[in-house]
């Protein structure tokens, strides 16, 4: 029942996270670690929101993207591991499963997805919504609007714009956070969804290919969401997973969360 294995595209930059520390502190899906009790009182403070005074023990995950990541998150709840602040999609499900199974981890998860965003809109809020949070693991899923808005909103960016903007964003990120581990999700469109039409084929495939090139060149762990949903369509129709083809139903969010956790494991062992 598990989705396709996540492909770790570790060429190009090596991920320079201190993986030994990660592994020492992580237990993912298998129960307890030996280091209990942790010193939670040394954990996270409001200062961390400004990128200052982060505890030695805190480990930060930031989920970035558009509506597929946002999923109705409460923009007033900006602290780590806040249920409403994480939204109701894959970020929330992955965080719950990660932390529910890893009670002694120091993972602090933030969702900063914003509905409607394209890459250049991520860039416009990147300092506050990414760099200041100083993620150890940065998960990005972006691209559907970079294409879709060319059809729906007169956006004049091309796939070249998308790839150029995406690389610029990651160059900027690496400049500030040289050790950040990257997880890049494949932008997807689930065949048969009500929001899709013939104009998506084959044009949107170019955006997926661009995202994959970027993931490879920046040493990101790649999540092949398109093939995960393609495979899921053998088991149930698009309505079950993602009715409009873009915004997943709970079942689709669950598949995404499982794939994201696979990617997270790949980050830890890479």
In sign, the C-alpha dihedral spanning 28, 184, 44, 111 is negative
Q: Spell out, one character per residue from 15 to 34, where the chain touches its own copies: x when CB under 8 A holds, - when not.
A: --------------xxxx--
Task: Please name which of 69, 96, 73 lies closest in space to residue 86, comparing C-alpha atoms.
Answer: 73
Which of 5, 12, 46, 103 forms a contact with its own copies (CB under 8 A)?
103
Looking at the Cβ atoms of 28 and 151, the one nearer to its own copies is 28
Pick between residue 203 and residue 236 the one whose CB is nearest to its own copies: 236
Quick check: 258 binds its own copies (CB under 8 A)? yes
Rg (CA), the chain: 18
By CB under 8 A, the count of residues binding its own copies is 51
Among 5, 12, 83, 116, binds its own copies (CB under 8 A): 83
Out of 14, 34, 36, 202, the only residue in the binding site for its own copies (CB under 8 A) is 36
Q: How many CB atoms lie within 10 A of CB 17?
A: 18
Per the structure block, which two tokens stand in for 151?
């059809």
> Applying CB under 8 A, which part among 7-15, 45-53, 85-93, 137-145 lies near its own copies?
85-93
Shorter beta-carbon distance to its own copies: residue 219 or 243 = 243
Contact status: 226 vs its own copies (CB under 8 A)? no
Residue 155 tokens read as 């956006």
**232 touches its own copies by CB under 8 A:** yes
* Binding mask of the shown chain, residues 104 to 143, with x at each position contacting its own copies by CB under 8 A: x----x----------------------------------
The correct pick among 93, 138, 177, 214 for binding its own copies (CB under 8 A) is 93
Least distance to its own copies, CB of residue 198, Å: 22
Measured CA to CA, the distance from residue 8 to residue 220 in angstroms comes to: 7
Q: Give the number of C-alpha atoms closer than 13 A to the C-alpha of residue 182, restricted to the C-beta side.
A: 31
Structure tokens at 17: 């996270």
> Any idea what the Cα angle at residue 212 is, between residues 240 and 258, rounded to 5°?
40
Q: Pick between residue 70 and residue 163 the one whose CB is nearest to its own copies.
A: 70
CB atoms within 10 A of CB 91: 32
> Cβ-count burial of 21 within 10 angstroms (0-12 exposed, 13-18 middle, 19+ buried)?
middle
Q: How far apart are alpha carbons 230 and 190 in whole angstroms? A: 7
Using CB under 8 A as the binding rule, whether residue 168 contacts its own copies is answered as no
Cα distance between residue 265 and residue 270, in whole Å: 8
For the bound state, the minimum distance from the C-beta of residue 169 to its own copies, rounded and expressed in Å, comes to 26
Torsion angle of C-alpha atoms 24, 216, 9, 111, degrees rounded to 10: 50
- Which residues bind to its own copies, rule: CB under 8 A? 1, 29-32, 36-38, 40, 43, 71-74, 77, 81-84, 86-89, 92-93, 95-97, 99-101, 103-104, 109, 232, 235-237, 239-240, 247-255, 257-258
């Amino acid at each position: 029942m598990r989705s396709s294995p996540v492909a770790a595209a570790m060429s190009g930059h090596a991920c320079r996270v201190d993986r030994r520390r990660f592994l020492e502190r992580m237990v993912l899906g298998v129960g307890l670690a030996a280091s209990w009790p942790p010193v939670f009182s040394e954990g996270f403070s409001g200062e961390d929101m400004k990128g200052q005074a982060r505890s030695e023990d805190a480990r930060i995950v930031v989920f970035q993207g558009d509506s597929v990541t946002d999923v109705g998150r409460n923009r007033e709840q900006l602290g780590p591991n806040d249920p409403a602040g994480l939204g109701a999609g894959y970020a929330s499900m992955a965080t719950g499963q990660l932390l529910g199974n890893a009670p002694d981890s120091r993972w602090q998860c933030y969702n900063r997805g914003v509905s409607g965003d394209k890459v250049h809109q991520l860039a416009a809020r990147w300092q506050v919504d990414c760099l200041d949070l100083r993620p150890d693991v940065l998960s990005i899923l972006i691209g559907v609007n970079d294409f879709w808005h060319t059809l729906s909103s007169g956006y004049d960016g091309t796939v070249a714009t998308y790839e150029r903007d995406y690389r610029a964003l990651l160059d900027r990120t690496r400049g500030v956070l040289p050790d950040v581990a990257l997880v890049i999700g494949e932008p997807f469109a689930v065949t048969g969804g009500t929001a899709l039409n013939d104009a998506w084929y084959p044009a949107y495939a170019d955006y997926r290919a661009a995202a994959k090139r970027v993931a490879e060149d920046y040493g990101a762990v790649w999540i092949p969401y398109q093939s995960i949903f393609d495979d899921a369509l053998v088991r149930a129709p698009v309505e079950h997973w993602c009715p409009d083809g873009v915004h997943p139903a709970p079942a689709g969010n669950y598949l995404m969360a499982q794939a994201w956790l696979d990617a997270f494991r790949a980050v830890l062992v890479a």
